[in-house]
Amino acid sequence: MISPRTCALVGRFTDPHVAESAQAVLAHLATRQITVLLDQAGALPDRGLAVRVPEEELGRRADLMIAVGGDGTLLYAAGLVARHGVPLLGINRGRLGFLTDVMPQDIPASLDAALEGRLQADERPLLAASLHHAGGEVARALALNDVVLQKLATGRMVDFETRVAGHYVNTHAGDGIVVASATGSTAYALSCGGPIVEPNLEVVVLSPICPHTLSDRPIVVSSRSTIEVRLLDRPDARAQVTCDGVILGSLEPEDVLSIQPADERITLLHPPGHEYFELLRSKLHWGRHGGER
């Protein structure tokens, strides 16, 4: 990794805890004579230590993206850099923080390690979602964690079918489905009963949301497969598609949602000594009554 000279900084700066850590980042990078980019519409006072640019330019102009907050903030930052190949460092001011693993007290040391190329680079695949509408329009987006199909009408199930690599899999009834990458297996898919998947595995998890049939279980398929989802033609059948929590569009019975591996990838930066199973033990409170084997 080339030593960064320009860093972009993002976060929900109206949160005092996030703003406090962001100010610490600004101050430390100023001592290292690093240019810091902030969204021109952002709420963080920069005391003249940052350059204000439009949001869409952050990923293009930065050598390093720094996300301060929770995993949602990091997913937002990933969307800004996904097409630019810019590495991403997450500072945890959220709750669980599976993706943002630098703690506030470690900000100076972690920033120095990032600037000196001493952090662990962890390349993660992305999902590419395409929403093909009956009229010919196509909406596209990338997702680091998941692509989610959910019902729009409260209290009403949706009926839909899934295909993997052109093969019919199942007809589902329920609240929707989560199509998660290995990275996203610890997010929404996990709350739907899906498995935890080691991030370097090339697989995708399909987790039905509140399925009407108890035998409709999560399945794991190759990430090289194309997954298709179609609504069945029922009265008032309509659903919504989101990519990492951002709305892609509405799905109606004549539309097709297609999900496949993206050409782009995201590089996450971790502190030295980062280990995935240690992270799981910490976040999920495993192994409290036993030692290492």
Enumerate the active-site residues.
Answer: 71
Helix spans in 131-264 (H)? 188-191
Tokens of 32: 């290292």
Residue with tokens 């240019």: 35
Nearest to 21 by CA among 59, 73, 80: 73
Spatial neighbors of 185 by CB under 8 A, at least 6 apart, are 194, 195, 196, 197, 205
SS (H, E, C) 16-75: HHHHHHHHHHHHHHHHCCCEEEEECCCCCCCCCCCEEECHHHHHHHCCEEEEEECHHHHH
What are the distances in angstroms from CA 273 to CA 25, 97, 101? 22, 17, 12
Task: Name the DSSP class of 236.
Answer: T
Task: Name the DSSP class of 76.
Answer: H
